[in-house]
Structure 1
């Protein structure tokens, strides 16, 4: 264990504060200790006596020294960087998730790298390889497909520690997901309970595998109500998940005869559907009841406050980050967990005029 005499004064700073060329050797010289002591203070502080550690920390602060993350990992210390790979960084839902993950990372003294797979399996594979090359501690992934072989079968050098976010795999992996089947079932049961006999679902598993689960929940609600899904449920697929896609879906539904109720795979699609209906003079909720999914921050402040299935977004991101810390800790006693969170239906004026 390294130490230095208590109360010893630090020598003059060998280089100006914040100089990009400041090295660990400069820190050691200023603190009056060995390079190994500085390294231990950064990577294994429990091995260094308090007074020595405080002297090194003062030197680091005075010089503005920033440890080299990759060099730090090569010493055997755990990385302080995690990755987050989402499907669409323009989505308010994923931005809220990222905010929760970053908060958890900051509390743990870590940093987060946010990556956008653009819902592409090929780009997702490249991002995981890149993050592995950066020696991150681990990665939270919302997979671009239900086919997650990249996370199971990639060589160890290309496969960082992974926790799935908003996706439940098998007991072989940690995951935090939401019961989308239950969420959609509640949404459609709500519409049927208001007397609607035909419901359109705007979504499609070709875009998001979560939409497939939401469609399954919609079918279950229709069957539970004693109706035939072939006639009571209209599927309207989309090519993406934004407002423009919702507007185009509304145009197609209007051309064929729009049902009296529409359930959308996410809130952005619902906003687009609303605009498409409004442009055609169709009123929400007087002519068509409208329900979204996610309950993003401004759903309650939409032109007509939007009924939506609220995902526990903050809990989703926060718990996933902590599960990743546990999974990547190297603890041989770690047990993989598959956490499933429950959504809730928030009824507003877009589906039920009485909710005004």
Structure 2
């Protein structure tokens, strides 16, 4: 059974929904106490709850006023992802939704397909139909964002905004929950160096911030080992290339990498398990042994790393996982706390690939 203050808070939410407009004044604490036969302390607790949710502003000596966010979406959180069918997103969404649901929030889920035009449409919708808070995986975070002004409008409207995986570089003051990608790249390269590899290649994604960060860690470890950096040994691909590889089974890009760029490299660091899986399949089809001839390592520790013909050495996050961390952070922001960025550490799961 809900506590009395929670029941009153829900009643007042419905009143705010019915009234709708910004600036609507709620009855005083005394009036509410008398109307519902509750103590002033219970009424005050309910009003504090509504204030933390951003539904009302309490003005000393004047009363409690609607912020205009008391509509039907006031207990909804928007989660904006790049791809809903991305192999890591279902776990992130499940973890986040579980946290939100425990606090009485439902979840609206959107996908941009990592296109800034679709992202723009979604942001405009969220401006016209406000939600309690937004957890967003920005589109093409390694590139300048043409939707910066929309993000600023959302931030300035008072809707708590939290980035996932990569922040919009031009938007200051908005926190982000991300992977510690530099350290992850360094860790994988260091692992291969410790195995005796002295010529390491890499495949990284160019239009999402994680790619340059992971590359940076990788080449920093190679540099710190006193080994030469060979630019031609690194392949960059973008979102369209990824769709062609995964959806159309067009791996011509990987074949050109093996034909032209791999050269004498004995190990490859891949942007993620998805690419590592495809690369290992092509290597084996060519009669190249993994890891005896070429070691392959990657990020995410997903099911790809376990169903691969050669199980993949990959990085994973220790618990708590990203979806839980992000949802808990956004809930704290909904309660009026300042948001803080956090980069989650990686740990190595060593398997047969390298």
From 239, 247, 252, give the equivalent of 1:248: 252
Cα separation, 1, equivalents of 2:10 and 2:334: 25
Aligned-residue offset at 1:42: 5.5
For residues 195-234 of structure 1, the aligned pairs below 5 Å read 195-206=196-207, 208-230=208-230, 234=233
Residues 96 and 313 of structure 1 are in contact (CA less than 8 Å); yes or no, is this contact kept in structure 2? no
Aligned-residue offset at 1:246: 8.8
Name the counterpart of 2:96.
101
Residues 298 and 313 of structure 2 are in contact (CA less than 8 Å); yes or no, is this contact kept in structure 1? yes
Aligned-residue offset at 1:74: 5.5
Aligned-residue offset at 1:158: 8.0
Residues 316 and 341 of structure 1 are in contact (CA less than 8 Å); yes or no, is this contact kept in structure 2? yes
Name the counterpart of 2:280.
274
Stretch deviating more after TM superposition (175-184 or 142-151): 142-151
From 105, 128, 144, give the equivalent of 1:110: 105
Name the counterpart of 2:4.
none
Unaligned runs of 5+ in 1: 1-35, 51-71, 352-356
Cα separation, 2, equivalents of 1:348 and 1:37: 52
Stretch deviating more after TM superposition (186-195 or 72-81): 72-81
Aligned-residue offset at 1:133: 2.4
2:266 matches 1:260: yes
1:214-264 per-residue CA deviation (whole Å, 9 max, x = no partner) reads 010111010011011126x71112233465479434311221263211111
Assess, with a 3 A threshold, how the Cα gap between structure 1 residues 156 and 315 changes in structure 2: closer, same or farther: closer
Cα separation, 2, equivalents of 1:96 and 1:118: 18
TM-score, with structure 1 as normaliser: 0.72
Residues 246 and 270 of structure 1 are in contact (CA less than 8 Å); yes or no, is this contact kept in structure 2? no
Aligned-residue offset at 1:134: 2.6
2:166 matches 1:167: yes
Name the counterpart of 1:338.
341
Name the counterpart of 1:348.
351
Stretch deviating more after TM superposition (158-167 or 253-262): 158-167
Aligned residues: 291
2:235 matches 1:236: yes
Residues 124 and 150 of structure 2 are in contact (CA less than 8 Å); yes or no, is this contact kept in structure 1? no
Residues 299 and 315 of structure 2 are in contact (CA less than 8 Å); yes or no, is this contact kept in structure 1? yes
Cα separation, 2, equivalents of 1:37 and 1:95: 32
2:296 matches 1:287: no
Unaligned runs of 5+ in 2: 1-7, 17-31, 39-66
Cα separation, 2, equivalents of 1:342 and 1:119: 25
Assess, with a 3 A threshold, how the Cα gap between structure 1 residues 199 and 154 changes in structure 2: closer, same or farther: same
TM-score, with structure 2 as normaliser: 0.72
Residues 174 and 323 of structure 1 are in contact (CA less than 8 Å); yes or no, is this contact kept in structure 2? no
Name the counterpart of 1:81.
76
Aligned-residue offset at 1:328: 2.8
Structure 1 counterpart SS, 2:305: coil
Assess, with a 3 A threshold, how the Cα gap between structure 1 residues 327 and 110 changes in structure 2: closer, same or farther: same
Cα separation, 2, equivalents of 1:212 and 1:130: 31
Assess, with a 3 A threshold, how the Cα gap between structure 1 residues 134 and 248 changes in structure 2: closer, same or farther: same
Stretch deviating more after TM superposition (133-142 or 236-245): 236-245
Q: CA RMSD in A?
A: 3.3
Cα separation, 1, equivalents of 2:110 and 2:178: 19
Residues 330 and 339 of structure 2 are in contact (CA less than 8 Å); yes or no, is this contact kept in structure 1? no
2:143 matches 1:142: no
Cα separation, 2, equivalents of 1:264 and 1:80: 40
Residues 291 and 350 of structure 1 are in contact (CA less than 8 Å); yes or no, is this contact kept in structure 2? yes
Structure 2 counterpart SS, 1:92: coil
Assess, with a 3 A threshold, how the Cα gap between structure 1 residues 133 and 250 changes in structure 2: closer, same or farther: same
